[in-house]
Amino acid sequence: MNEITEEQVISESTQAQLQSDKMRNTAIGKLLVQMSLPAIVSMLVQSLYNIVDSLFLTGITYVPAGYVGKAIGQDSFNAVSIVMPMTMIVVALGIGIGVGANAYIARKLGEGNRKHADKAAQTAIVMAIAAWLLMAALAFVVSKPFMRAFVNSDNASDEQYVIEQGALYLEIYMLGSIGVIMDITCARMLQATGNMKIPMITQLVGAVTNIALDAAFIVGCKWGVLGAILATVIGQWAAAAIDLIAFFVKKQDVSISLRRYRPQTKYFLRIFKIGLPAFVMNAMNSVVTIILNVMLRRYPNGITVLSAYFKVQSFVFMPVFGLMQGAMPIMSYNYGANEKKRFNKTFLLGLYVALGVMAVGTVLFQAAPELLMSIFKSNTLAEGQTQAELDAANAVLVREGAYAFRAISIAFIPAAFSILVINMLQSVNCPVSSLLMSFSRQLLFLIPSAILFNYLWQQQGIWFCYPVAEVLSLAVYLPFALHDYRKQFRYKAKQYEEGKVHADS
């Protein structure tokens, strides 16, 4: 039997009616809605889960055995909040692998090269498993030392409780992280083919499972922080299971079957190279949060306010990230197909929508920050505490949080530009430029600003590091991004002219 050549496979895949073909033919406005709306809906539900999860913890009305503090709700919330940067590292690994696979698969499908798309998908699954094994191995090594570094008498009424509960949360999260890593990776690969419905369903199932189990475990079983993390991990496993079932029950544009799979270094490197900026951008969020927590731990409500901000701002940023999940495969596909006009329309439409969302978010954070921060008030009287004392403590928390919300939200509109440009650079295969811009807005400009403003104006000054960093990174890198965009489309046009479009690149 004659061996099928790669050229034949490419020809057959080009002729086949793939789901991803709509990214070449469907009107951009309609396509962007089809691709983005499911991701936006699922991310808004995820944001709702983050708030509900916090409400369950801050609203705890029972006192666990051995607890000697005076603010069980805030201590429980802080235990989970302090480990958030480490959970963000886990999520960043999944996003890095998922974005790398997403952009590469979409580009190869745009070129008509389905064989390379399949190899990339299979490689991404292997990378996801390897990432989970790494996190599981580190679970018991980093958890307690990490908590001890941030918990003190200034930000915890029962230091031992916060340390032990936070460490427990982080250990279980990292051991069970196969769910979140696999879910993100598989969802991004489905999105690369134009399939946005399954990722939306998985996010909805994960979030609803999470919320239902929060109520059962935290309120019903009175398991507190343990209940919160068990609900989180089970929800993530449920989402990942649906993703995997989707690949094996119904034929997708790419295959993740590992039968006869042979690892090839070039696919690992392609995914790593493209996904590294996305990993860095999300990991830098973690690093920045850790550094800011170091500065804020001396202020009684500092870490609580920052954690509350991240919970609430997700309602503004998550729709934009959902928009990017829809726009990025469209841009990557049309870059691979050398469809510059469709690429440009996608970018500009995405930018207009992102700016609109961020403008609404800015108005909300400027007009009603007290209302937003009041979600995180403690409702439980500690032993020996009067209602007047609890009300006074809550009033200080709300006042400090409202000030922070107003200061940070100045960054929302410039952040829309930065997020769009970073994703555009990834879609045209400029990972280094994307990485540099991510690094700058998250670390290079932000942290020095925070240190300076903390020295000059203490806690109130720290919050202004966000708008300063966004404006500086845009001013510095936007000209370079435009240069890279033009250069890459000239390169792609040349590939088509010379008949090298299907080369292994």
| pLDDT at residue 13 is higher than 80 | no
What tokens does 435 get?
């990485």
Quickly list DSSP for 177-226. Answer: THHHHHHHHHHHHHHHTT--HHHHHHHHHHHHHHHHHHIIIIIIS--THH
| pLDDT at residue 143 is higher than 90 | yes
Percent of residues in the chain assigned helix, strand, coil, to nearest 5: 80, 0, 20
The per-residue pLDDT for range 483-492, each reduced to its tens digit, is 999 999 999 8
Do 284 and 49 meet the contact criterion of CB atoms below 8 Å apart?
Answer: no
The residue written with tokens 């999470």 in the block is 210
Q: What is the DSSP letter of 70?
A: S
pLDDT at 138: 96
Residue 265: pLDDT band (50, 70, 90) is: very high
Do 165 and 144 meet the contact criterion of CB atoms below 8 Å apart?
Answer: no
| pLDDT at residue 467 is higher than 80 | yes
For residue 422, give the nearest of 411, 432, 439, 437 by alpha carbon.
Answer: 437
| pLDDT at residue 18 is higher than 70 | no
pLDDT at 380: 74
| pLDDT at residue 238 is higher than 90 | yes
Instruction: Give the residue-averaged pLDDT of 16-22.
Output: 60
The per-residue pLDDT for range 369-389, each reduced to its tens digit, is 999 999 888 777 776 778 888
pLDDT at 20: 61
pLDDT at 59: 80
pLDDT at 1: 38
The per-residue pLDDT for range 388-405, each reduced to its tens digit, is 888 898 899 999 999 999
Ranking 39-53, 178-192, 302-316, 334-348 by mean pLDDT, the lowest is 39-53
What tokens does 212 get?
């239902």
The mean predicted confidence, pLDDT, of the chain is 88
The per-residue pLDDT for range 422-449, each reduced to its tens digit, is 989 988 988 888 888 888 887 889 999 9
- Higher pLDDT among residues 46 and 92, named by residue: 92
| pLDDT at residue 317 is higher than 80 | yes
| pLDDT at residue 189 is higher than 50 | yes
For residue 492, what is the enclosing H or E element? Answer: helix 465-497
d(CA 447, CA 441): 9
d(CA 229, CA 169): 6
pLDDT at 174: 97
Kindly report the number of other CB atoms within 10 A of residue 15's CB atom.
9
Instruction: Give the residue-averaged pLDDT of 51-65.
Output: 82
d(CA 253, CA 78): 44
% pLDDT > 90, the chain: 54
Ranking 213-217, 280-284, 474-478 by mean pLDDT, the lowest is 280-284
Instruction: Give the residue-averaged pLDDT of 218-223.
Output: 92
What tokens does 85 get?
């940067």
pLDDT at 384: 72
> Max alpha carbon distance in the chain (Å)?
85
The per-residue pLDDT for range 151-164, each reduced to its tens digit, is 888 778 889 999 99
The domains of the chain are located at: 26-497
Residue 7: pLDDT band (50, 70, 90) is: very low
